Structure 1
Amino acid sequence: MDLYKLLFSTNVMLVEGISEELLIKSYLREYSNYLNNIEVLSFHKGYNKIIDLWMKINSHGKRKIAVVRDYDNQPNAKEQTESRSIPGKVFVGTTEGYTLEDDIVNGNIDLLRSYFIDHLNWDIELSATASEIANVWKSKKGETMAMIACEFGTEQFHNFSLPNHINNAIKFLKGEPI
């Protein structure tokens, strides 16, 4: 079924894993009426081959694909995947930091610091840096993202900001300027 969605959906977003999928689907559910128009699918690797296959089938239609990937300190992989970007057809967004958690914390440090201390009882200092918080999060990856995803739409997460690469992917699929 995912293969069918990948190749034939109007707007497809490929993500690295469950954390990205939870984040994006929950965010779209709460803050956008575009969820039914964007298929979010998890693929951990193989983006270049997937984009190439997708283009063979969809090069002449109106369908779009966005890839949301981690940098992982792999500049060559980043360059190879981003070179497949095609305006209006293929968008590739890569984290600025090592992983998704780094980018989320950097954009939401005060909100997350208090949330992790007050609601998840993390043993971190009020002065913890973004890097320190992200490193703790990486050891509790899926569980933490599930908790955050449940908080969307609440006052606690009213000012939450998506990382730039995800925000730009959503804008691309919606046809908005990036």
Structure 2
Amino acid sequence: MRSFALCALFLLLLPLAPEAFAQGSQGGRIGRSEQVISTSPGYYQFHQPGEATIQVQVEGAVRNPGLYEISVQTDLSRLLALTGGANYDVRQSSERQRVEVRLFRPSEGVVYATTSSDIAANPGSYPPLREGDSVIVDVIRKRNFGWQEAGIIVGAVSAVALLVNAVAGN
């Protein structure tokens, strides 16, 4: 009688936990298209099980810098998306920002340099990633010339003119 009750309870609970029975041999859910694993801070894996991979270092102004183990088919724009994108700080209205991306190979130096907007506008125009590459992302800020700057320059020139006038008058 007791075994009958346990079997009935098991059959009643079975529809409530489909995730527990849908685990694959890799530990992920069936139907998952890619494994995303972070084994330690700064080391990320983005690839399907069994795919050939390369390791690429991503540094600079990205949300998640570190070493990325990615599929050999992963392109630069996908890698930048995996890092979480550029890390923008709050900017003032008088500033302009642009994101510069450089691809560095230890044996060749900088092989590709562009802006993130160029990567988005011209997909596929960048070289393929290789084992050992480094991607460096910088956010460049430029301040627009405005009334405040003009006032500083006029004040400095006026101070120098008054000083020259005072020295020449004595």
Q: Same fold (TM over 0.5)?
A: no
TM-score for the superposition, normalised by structure 2: 0.23
State the TM-score, normalizing by the size of structure 1. 0.23
More strand by share: 2
Higher helix proportion, which one? Answer: 1
User: With CA pairs under 8 Å and 6+ residues apart, which has the higher RCO, 1 or 2?
Assistant: 1
